[in-house]
């Protein structure tokens, strides 16, 4: 028996399999386009001739293809389902919480131990100290897969038995990323309107943004443990700053849409009585049952 089999050798699957093989693990790989597997032969990996053959070769099977639809089509054949029985399947293709729960359910019925993960890293981070995989599902399966996962991504975090948690946490992190992107591009528009070079704006941005990221991380603690009414930077103060952004956009003829959207969010919290609270209190606007 080999140590691990990888199904899917796109940009990410290849980085995973390459790192596993480099770590000295006996590795079996399968990819639809066989040519992508060839460089791994130099690392002593074995190329399987079908997904079922790859699965049969190892107790631990990692799948990383475009999406769940592709993965379900590949692994849902009778050959694959019967080969997977009694093995640990680690799903690392991106998906949604609903798809992760459905995959756990069908795996359970087929006698497959299932883990669902999201790779919170770029391909060149795989195997590096800062790489992270968010993983959830069967606890016993995690103890089988833990050593491999921590070789691939040393910051791997196990989130418990509910397989939906890895994709949900990944969505939460990406929500932070898209918010940051929208806000920073809005800042670039302010700079353009004022004749400031985007390079000037970008120069100290990482440090400046980190200060806000540290502060919002403290708000998470207040959401969890209380204390949202204590702050030096209340929601109403931020709302006044956003008003200045809207005014500046309107005076300079560029779109105020991003600022107006954020202003509405902060305004709703103020209308609900949280104007003097920490920005963590914005969560009241989003909770189920709120307008
Ligand atoms: P990719 O380079 O586009 O590779 C896609 C993989 O899926 C290839 O192995 C491809 O096979 C396979 N595939 C697609 N359709 C198929 C089909 N109908 N039958 C069989 N195999 C099929 O994508 P990737 O970057 O490796 O991403 C894989 C997963 O990792 C995605 O879910 C992605 O969201 C996630 N991810 C990627 C990154 C990243 O930085 N790349 C970061 C985090 C998460 P062929 O080689 O034969 O086309």
For every one of its 291 residues, what pLDDT tens digit does the chain have, with 9 covering 90 and above?
A: 999 999 999 999 999 999 999 999 999 999 999 999 999 999 999 999 999 999 999 999 999 999 999 999 999 999 999 999 999 999 999 999 999 999 999 999 999 999 999 999 999 999 999 999 999 999 999 999 999 999 999 999 999 999 999 999 999 999 999 999 999 999 999 999 999 999 999 999 999 888 889 999 999 999 999 999 999 999 999 999 999 999 999 999 999 999 999 999 999 999 999 999 999 999 999 998 754
- Among protein residues, the one with the nearest Cα to ligand 1's atom 16 is 70
Cβ–Cβ under 8 Å, residues 93 and 82:
no
Whether the CB of 72 sits within 6 Å of ligand 1: no
Of 5, 6, 7, 12, which is best to mutate to test ligand 1, by the most ligand atoms within 8 angstroms of its C-beta? Answer: 12
Whether the CB of 15 sits within 6 Å of ligand 1: no
Predicted confidence at residue 290, as pLDDT, reads 53
Whether the CB of 64 sits within 6 Å of ligand 1: yes
Whether the CB of 40 sits within 6 Å of ligand 1: no
Q: Would you say the pTM of this structure is higher than 0.85?
A: yes
**Ligand 1 atom index nearest CA of 15:** 26
Predicted confidence at residue 289, as pLDDT, reads 79
Whether the CB of 35 sits within 6 Å of ligand 1: no
Cβ–Cβ under 8 Å, residues 72 and 102:
no
Predicted confidence at residue 43, as pLDDT, reads 92
Predicted confidence at residue 288, as pLDDT, reads 87
Whether the CB of 133 sits within 6 Å of ligand 1: no
**Ligand 1 atom index nearest CA of 65:** 7
Return the structure tokens found at 3. Answer: 């140590």
Predicted confidence at residue 291, as pLDDT, reads 47
- Among protein residues, the one with the nearest Cα to ligand 1's atom 44 is 119
**Span from the CA of 12 to the centroid of ligand 1 (angstroms):** 7
**Span from the CA of 181 to the centroid of ligand 1 (angstroms):** 25
Whether the CB of 70 sits within 6 Å of ligand 1: yes
């Amino acid at each position: 028996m080999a140590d691990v089999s990888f199904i899917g050798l796109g940009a990410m699957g290849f980085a995973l399999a390459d790192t596993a093989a480099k770590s000295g693990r006996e590795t079996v790989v399968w990819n639809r386009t066989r040519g992508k597997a060839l460089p791994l032969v130099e690392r002593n990996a074995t190329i399987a001739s079908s997904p079922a053959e790859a699965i049969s070769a190892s107790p631990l099977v990692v799948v990383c293809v475009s999406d769940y639809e592709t993965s379900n089509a590949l692994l849902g054949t009778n050959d694959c389902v019967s080969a997977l029985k009694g093995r640990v399947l680690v799903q690392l293709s991106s998906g949604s919480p609903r798809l992760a729960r459905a995959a756990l359910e069908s795996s359970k019925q087929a006698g497959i131990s299932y883990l669902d993960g999201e790779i919170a890293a770029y391909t060149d981070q795989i195997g590096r100290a800062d790489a992270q995989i968010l993983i959830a599902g069967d606890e016993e399966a995690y103890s089988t897969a833990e050593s491999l996962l921590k070789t691939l991504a040393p910051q791997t975090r196990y989130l418990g038995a509910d397989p939906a948690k890895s994709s949900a946490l990944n969505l939460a992190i990406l929500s932070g990323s898209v918010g940051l992107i929208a806000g920073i591009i809005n800042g670039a528009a302010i700079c353009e309107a004022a004749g400031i070079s985007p390079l000037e704006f970008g120069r100290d941005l990482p440090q400046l943004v980190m200060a806000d990221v540290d502060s919002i991380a403290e708000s998470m603690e207040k959401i969890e443990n209380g204390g949202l009414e204590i702050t030096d930077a209340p929601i109403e103060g931020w709302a006044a700053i956003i008003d200045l952004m809207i005014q500046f956009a309107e005076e300079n003829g560029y779109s105020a849409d991003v600022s107006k959207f954020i202003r509405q969010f902060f305004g709703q919290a103020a209308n609900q009585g949280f104007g003097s609270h920490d920005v963590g209190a914005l969560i009241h606007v989003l909770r189920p049952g709120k307008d």
